[in-house]
Structure 1
Amino acid sequence: MKRSEIKRRPLSDTALASIEPETREFRELDGNGVYFRVKPDGQKSWQLRYKNQAGKWSWLGLGGYPQVGGALARKKASDLRKEIAQGEDPLANKKARQAAELAAATNTFEALAREWIEIRTPGWQTSTATRNVGALELHVFPVFGKRPYTEITPKQWMDFLQSLERKGILEQMSRVRRSCKEIYDLARVTGRAIHNPLEGLNRFLQSKPAENYAHVTSKDLPELLRAIRAYPHAPDLRLGLRLLSLTGVRPTELREAPWAEIDFDNALWSIPAERMKKRRDHLVPLSRQAVEALRELHALSGRYPLLFPGRSDHKKARSNMAFNMALRRMGYEGRQTGHGFRHIASTTLREHNFPREHVEAQLAHVEGGVAGVYNKAIYLEQRKQMMQWYADHLDKLERGNVVTVDFQTKG
């Protein structure tokens, strides 16, 4: 139907459905200031024309057709005319509602947390980002994500964190508390909050006791080294555990390492700052045994960018539980972790009178006297000799011709 063929007002349902678009947008009067708008692409909608409080004509949308039919559009218009008669401006009210809805959407705890995540992610290792974001998404967002962050009280945060305590997930609880406190700090320093509701809550929550990562005693170390050598299930994990024992690096530093960091010719492993916990470049001297293990590993995964590529996605590293799962299969659950090899290296080297600063530099620890002058090659020549001695020492332990002292009880 052409608009010229319309014979009566208000517009009938037949007319509304059949009226044809034209080359230019047009409005067809339905009655009492209600208009039916038709665009050239065929889209149809309703509008109310009214005078605002300043005496100027304004247009206010009533909804699209056919979602809003004629009867509903006229009912909406009637309600709006009552608002106008009471001195209100429905267009201004609509804009205010939209602004309030937008503010509410951007004022939620999840929105603030996502902003914090975006700011903090560049400074995190991939594994750290995964743990922090995962803890928020699993525990916090389902409870507080959609709520305005300024309305969540300290008591509500306390109750929530204590509920995590009761589940026995103290490490997760502590991670969540630290993250959420930082999120509120962001709101506070940017002028969007005055108080931080998580301030001081840590004094009333359990803390996970400090622990040295599980590691075997010196008496049991030779047996562990032999078990690693004989591990039958996954050759790359066998070599990974051997490399952890030979280098003293953190499991994540090894697991996520690309082959580009390994210099076989100079027996050096150069780890860039962005992959290090302390955000400092770090050189790891490689003993003869470590180079041999790496060459054997290269035969397995050298065609991929990473030393330990994932099984389904070779561009991603193996699971962060891979080394510990291998130790578990060997029967060392609760007795030895991947990280525990660092403690063994540190204690063994100190027991054999290697200087503390050399040991701490090898482990990339921040130490007084070291941190202030740190560079990636600090004590490199001394560390080369130290780690070659250590690799030879581990081989002798594995063969069973070394008498050891129990370092489990040492400081």
Structure 2
Amino acid sequence: MKRADIKRRPLSDTVLANLEPELKEYRELDGEGLYFRVKPDGKKAWLFRYKKADGKWSWLGIGTYPELSGKGARKKASEIILDISHGDNPIITKQERKRQELDHHNATFDVLAREWLETKVNTWVHDTMTRNKGALEKHVFPVFGKRLYTSIKPIEWMNHLKGIQQKQGIYEQVSRVRAMCRDIYDYAKVTGRIDYNPLEGIQKHLQQGKKENMAHVSEAELPTLIRAINNYPTMDVRMGLQLLAMLFCRPTELRGAKWDEFDLEQGLWNIPEERMKKRREHVVPLPKQALAHVKDGVAGVYNKAQYLQGRASMMQWYADHLEELANMKVI
């Protein structure tokens, strides 16, 4: 659904679910300072716009969609408006509510971990967030998720992480999970909820996996590999492997590439910041061979209007072929 198709406000559930992303982030007013934000990658969230005491306007994030529905967002917006009418700073009020929710005596580890994950939204790319959140949900939450985070002892953490290593043999992933859990407790520590981190010092007592060199191709084997890639029968796979070999990019960057990121006239690939690990736009110069592959890929897209001539020839050939079949000239 396009923005121009919106007929009324507040935004209906159908509109919220079907609003399409555009090349640039945009916000749609829902009502009384509440806005619905849609990012180019399709992520949606609720924002509240308010005027600070110094007269300057500011934005306050109040939740992501669909986790927070339209009804829930409007309720939160009403609470913020009430806070402002009482002279309260909505940011401080929001932080205080979170602190109350994460009180020492009733906060579970999964609640603390999910709050910590929220602090990484603007620094982690989508794939990193998905991978790390999934690791916590698989290896930590089933055991410690509903425990009070202040009640989990260092020996419990060490035994649990050692158990995963022994049963599954995933040393690198266990190391990453341990590092995340340590950071989660560091977050609780600097926000005044705990005085010590139960995961400090555990790393040196965990078994270390064997370090192996990354799989690689020797210089002598490289010609054979390049020829194999060039002769691969599937066009999109072949082109992807050829571009990876030339451009030294991450596979996820290439897999998520869109046609409008390629400037064929300038010979550049402009990767937007939201797809980069370090959240900075990255420009990749395209050598002539890579540029030729990209142009071939664009030309192979069936419904592009600028390639009507080639499409017309193909359609004419097929129509002639059907006519020959009808006249029994082809058996």
TM-score normalized with structure 2 length: 0.57
Cα drift, residue 197 of structure 1 = 0.7
Q: Are residues 105 and 301 of structure 1, via their aligned partners in 2, closer, same or farther at CA, if it must alter by over 3 Å?
A: farther
Who is 2:260 aligned against? 260
- Once residues 102 and 139 of structure 2 are traced to their aligned partners in structure 1, the CA distance between those partners, rounded to angstroms, is 25
Please tell me whether the aligned partners of residues 125 and 279 of structure 2 are also in contact (alpha carbons under 8 angstroms). Answer: no
Residue 148 of structure 1 aligns to a residue in which SS?
coil
Alpha carbon RMSD of aligned pairs, Å?
A: 2.5
Please tell me whether the aligned partners of residues 267 and 285 of structure 2 are also in contact (alpha carbons under 8 angstroms). Answer: yes
- Once residues 302 and 125 of structure 1 are traced to their aligned partners in structure 2, the CA distance between those partners, rounded to angstroms, is 31
Cα drift, residue 130 of structure 1 = 1.2
Cα drift, residue 272 of structure 1 = 2.9
Q: Are residues 208 and 260 of structure 1, via their aligned partners in 2, closer, same or farther at CA, if it must alter by over 3 Å?
A: farther
Unaligned runs of 5+ in 1: 1-99, 305-411
- Once residues 181 and 101 of structure 2 are traced to their aligned partners in structure 1, the CA distance between those partners, rounded to angstroms, is 24
Who is 2:139 aligned against? 139
After TM superposition, the structure 1 = structure 2 runs for residues 353-368 of structure 1, keeping only pairs within 5 Å, are none
Q: Are residues 301 and 143 of structure 1, via their aligned partners in 2, closer, same or farther at CA, if it must alter by over 3 Å?
A: farther
Q: Deviations over 1:196-217 (max 9, x none)?
A: 1111111112344555532111
Q: Are residues 211 and 125 of structure 1, via their aligned partners in 2, closer, same or farther at CA, if it must alter by over 3 Å?
A: farther
Q: Are residues 101 and 253 of structure 1, via their aligned partners in 2, closer, same or farther at CA, if it must alter by over 3 Å?
A: closer
Q: Deviations over 1:109-139 (max 9, x none)?
A: 0000111111112211111111100101111
How many residue pairs are counted as aligned between the two chains? 204
Who is 2:190 aligned against? 189
Q: Deviations over 1:286-322 (max 9, x none)?
A: 0111011112222445879xxxxxxxxxxxxxxxxxx
Residue 119 of structure 2 aligns to a residue in which SS?
helix
Structure with higher Rg: it is 1
Return the structure number with greater relative CO, CA threshold 8 A, min gap 6. 1
After TM superposition, the structure 1 = structure 2 runs for residues 295-314 of structure 1, keeping only pairs within 5 Å, are 295-300=295-300
Residue 283 of structure 1 aligns to a residue in which SS?
strand
Cα drift, residue 271 of structure 1 = 1.9
Who is 1:227 aligned against? 228
Could you tell me which amino acid in structure 2 is paired with residue 134 of structure 1?
Answer: G
After TM superposition, the structure 1 = structure 2 runs for residues 175-324 of structure 1, keeping only pairs within 5 Å, are 175-208=176-209, 212-232=213-233, 234-300=234-300
Cα drift, residue 187 of structure 1 = 0.7
Residue 122 of structure 2 aligns to a residue in which SS?
helix
Residue 269 of structure 1 aligns to a residue in which SS?
strand
Q: Are residues 266 and 193 of structure 1, via their aligned partners in 2, closer, same or farther at CA, if it must alter by over 3 Å?
A: same
Cα drift, residue 188 of structure 1 = 0.7
- Once residues 221 and 105 of structure 2 are traced to their aligned partners in structure 1, the CA distance between those partners, rounded to angstroms, is 58
Q: Deviations over 1:333-367 (max 9, x none)?
A: xxxxxxxxxxxxxxxxxxxxxxxxxxxxxxxxxxx
Residue 270 of structure 1 aligns to a residue in which SS?
strand
TM-score normalized with structure 1 length: 0.46
Cα drift, residue 276 of structure 1 = 2.4
Residue 257 of structure 1 aligns to a residue in which SS?
coil
Who is 1:53 aligned against? none
Cα drift, residue 186 of structure 1 = 1.1
Please tell me whether the aligned partners of residues 236 and 300 of structure 1 are also in contact (alpha carbons under 8 angstroms). Answer: no
Please tell me whether the aligned partners of residues 269 and 286 of structure 1 are also in contact (alpha carbons under 8 angstroms). Answer: yes
Please tell me whether the aligned partners of residues 123 and 274 of structure 1 are also in contact (alpha carbons under 8 angstroms). Answer: no
Could you tell me which amino acid in structure 1 is paired with residue 189 of structure 2?
Answer: R
Please tell me whether the aligned partners of residues 267 and 285 of structure 1 are also in contact (alpha carbons under 8 angstroms). Answer: yes
Question: Does 2:162 align with 1:162?
Answer: yes
Q: Are residues 246 and 102 of structure 1, via their aligned partners in 2, closer, same or farther at CA, if it must alter by over 3 Å?
A: closer
Could you tell me which amino acid in structure 2 is paired with residue 180 of structure 1?
Answer: C
Please tell me whether the aligned partners of residues 259 and 302 of structure 1 are also in contact (alpha carbons under 8 angstroms). Answer: no
